[in-house]
Structure formats: C-alpha cells, structure tokens
Structure 1
Amino acid sequence: MQIGIIEDHQLVRDSFKKLLELELNWQVTIEACSVNEAKLAVNIDQPDVFIVDISMHEGDTGLTFLSYLNEHYPAIKTIVASMHDHEPYVSNAIQLGALGYVSKRSASDAMIDAVKTVMRGHRYISEDVNFSYSCVSNKKDLLTNREIEALPLFAKGLNAKQVAQQLGMMPKTAHVHKTNICNKLNATTSFELLKVAIDIGVIQLNELV
C-alpha cells in the first residue's frame, strides 16, 4: 500500500513514516511540507491513502488540500492527523471528504488502525477526538458538494456511466463517489440510498411520480 503525508514538521513526518513502514508492504511514497508541494506530487503519483495535517506555517491549510483531493482524486482515502482535535475542525474535515480523524496526541497508537479502517471504506475517529455525529445536524453535512450532486442521480437508479455523463466526470470517478456516498450514509441497497436521499431533501417525492 502506498501512503502520502502532508505535514510541515519534519520530525512528525519522519515519525509517521517510520511507524507506517513497520507494516508489511506499506510504503510512504509522498512526503510534503506544504499544500503546493503535495499537489505537485499527487499529480504525478496517487497513493492509496493520504495523511493530512490541518495547520501549515505557510500558505494554504490542510483543509484546502482535502478539498483538492476530493475534487480531483476522490479514490484517495484521507486521514487528518491534527492537534486541532475538536469542533469545528473535525466536521469541516469530514465535509471535505476526510474518512479518518486522529489526534496527534494519540497518533502513535491510533494511526495504523485508522489506515486499515479507512482502506476498508469505513470511518475512523480516534477516541480522544471531540466529535459526535450529533454535531452533524443533517446527514447531508457528511457529504461533499460533488457527492450531493451525485446522490439524487444514483438514488433514482442511474448507473456510474450515466451519472458521469450528467456531471461531466469519468465513470470510474462516479463509481468512487457512489462508494463514498454509501459508506458515509450507511446505505447498502438502492432502496436505502433512495430513502436517505428523500430524508435529507435532495429528492422530492413528486420527482418519483
């Protein structure tokens, strides 16, 4: 498995890399200290998962990079590792596509589990992060803007190729969006997806007549 890290403290980057590469066949292929550096690297080589710090000493924040990955490389799983282990940072990161959130205080213990969990398509929030799903007033808040656009189309029964045509993306990207939507909304069938779409208001009942 290939892993990317964006973190502006070299000692932290080195620590994460050493920890992650203890796992068999795990390799850190991107080490970036800024958003611009990370963007340049990911445009050349896309890892399976990216570990993202929020605070940067210079330039854009890690949230900017989360948004960039979600828009251009939605197949890359993302985990935030930050000292900002409370709201609104956590909800903001989730809305920008982060599947995992780990406090730096517990990263040495939680990071391996976090990577394994998000690679299975499940969310991982470390125990010391101050977040509850009650902080999210609407399941819609768990979705990115692109996923909100795709949800009603998938809920109406369109396949990935049809959704891709309507939204101007590659079918593979549309399929990734569907997988992410189903994981975030805990929907395993088309009926469950439709029900959630109606519940959160992206589809009106009269549209189904």
Structure 2
Amino acid sequence: MKVLLVEDYAPIRERLCDLVRTVPGAYIVAEAEEPSIAVAAIEANDPAVVIIDLQLKAGTSGLTILKWVREHRPQIAVIVLSNSAYAQMRKTCLELGAKLFLDKASEFVQLRGALVDLASRRA
C-alpha cells in the first residue's frame, strides 16, 4: 500500500516513516512539505493513502491538498494528522472527505491501527 506523507516538521515526518514501516504491505512513496509538492507527488506516485498535516510551510494549509484529492483522486484515503484538533476543524476535514482525523498530541497511536486496517482491506 503506497503512502504519501505531507508534513513540514522533519522529526514528525521521521516518526511517521518509522511507523509506516511497521505496517505490513505499506511503504512510503514520497514526502512533501507543502501543497504544490504534495499534489505533484500524488500525480506521480498514485498513493492509496495520503497522511496530511494541516499547518504547513509558509502558512500553507493541508486543506488545499484534501480538497484537491477529493476533486481529482477521490479513491485515495486521506488521513489528517494535526495539532489543529479543534472540533470544527475535525468536522470540516471529515466533511471534505478525510477518512480519519487524528490529533497528533492524543491520537497519534491510533494511526498504525488505521493503516493496518486500510492495508488489510486492499490485500
């Protein structure tokens, strides 16, 4: 299962890479730090899953990517993993088509289970 990471903070990106490596059948196809790079990586790699942080470099937003995916590649499962875990932001992301919204601070550990579930459905 191809996974694309969209995270601008290198230590978190490393942690995500390590976590994805523990999921049978899952592997990172690309990493991006901003929306334009993420969209290009999606087009080039056709991932099954995109994990998106909402607050990216230079004030850009992961919402841009989420909207693009829903319009152009709705088959991709999007998981939002963010520190912006306000109820309204969670609701907005889910309404825009995110499969899952996780708070980095309190729900990070749920990410592996979600990826295992997605990988088993694809197998």
Q: Please report the TM-score for the alignment, with normalisation by the length of structure 2.
A: 0.89
Q: Please report the TM-score for the alignment, with normalisation by the length of structure 1.
A: 0.54
Conservation of the 8 A alpha-carbon contact between 2:23 and 2:115: no
Q: Which runs of 5+ in 1 are unaligned?
A: 121-209
Separation in structure 2 between the aligned mates of residue 23 and residue 79 of structure 1, nearest angstrom: 15
Separation in structure 2 between the aligned mates of residue 19 and residue 88 of structure 1, nearest angstrom: 28
Name which structure has the greater RCO, CA cutoff 8 Å, separation 6+: 2
What is the DSSP-based 3-state SS (H/G/I as helix, E as strand, rest coil) of the residue aligned with 1:58? helix
Partner of 1:202: none
Separation in structure 1 between the aligned mates of residue 108 and residue 25 of structure 2, nearest angstrom: 19
Partner of 1:38: 38
Separation in structure 2 between the aligned mates of residue 93 and residue 100 of structure 1, nearest angstrom: 8
Partner of 2:97: 97
Separation in structure 2 between the aligned mates of residue 63 and residue 29 of structure 1, nearest angstrom: 21
Residue type of the partner of 1:51? Answer: I
Q: C-alpha displacement at 1:89, in angstroms?
A: 0.5
What is the DSSP-based 3-state SS (H/G/I as helix, E as strand, rest coil) of the residue aligned with 1:3? strand
Partner of 2:13: 13
Counterpart check, 1:66 vs 2:63: no
Over 3 Å counting, the alpha-carbon distance change for 1:59 and 1:37 in structure 2 is: farther
Residue type of the partner of 1:22? Answer: T
Task: Let me know the Cα RMSD of the aligned residues.
Answer: 1.8
Query: Which residues in structure 2 correspond to 1:119-158 (within 5 Å)?
Result: 120=121
Conservation of the 8 A alpha-carbon contact between 1:100 and 1:118: no
Query: Aligned pair count?
Result: 121
Separation in structure 2 between the aligned mates of residue 7 and residue 101 of structure 1, nearest angstrom: 15
Residue type of the partner of 1:21? Answer: R
Residue type of the partner of 2:3? Answer: I
Q: Compare CA radii of gyration and give the structure with the larger one.
A: 1
Q: C-alpha displacement at 1:107, in angstroms?
A: 4.6
Q: Which is strand-richer, 1 or 2?
A: 2
Residue type of the partner of 2:63? Answer: L
Deviating 4+ runs (over 6 angstroms): none
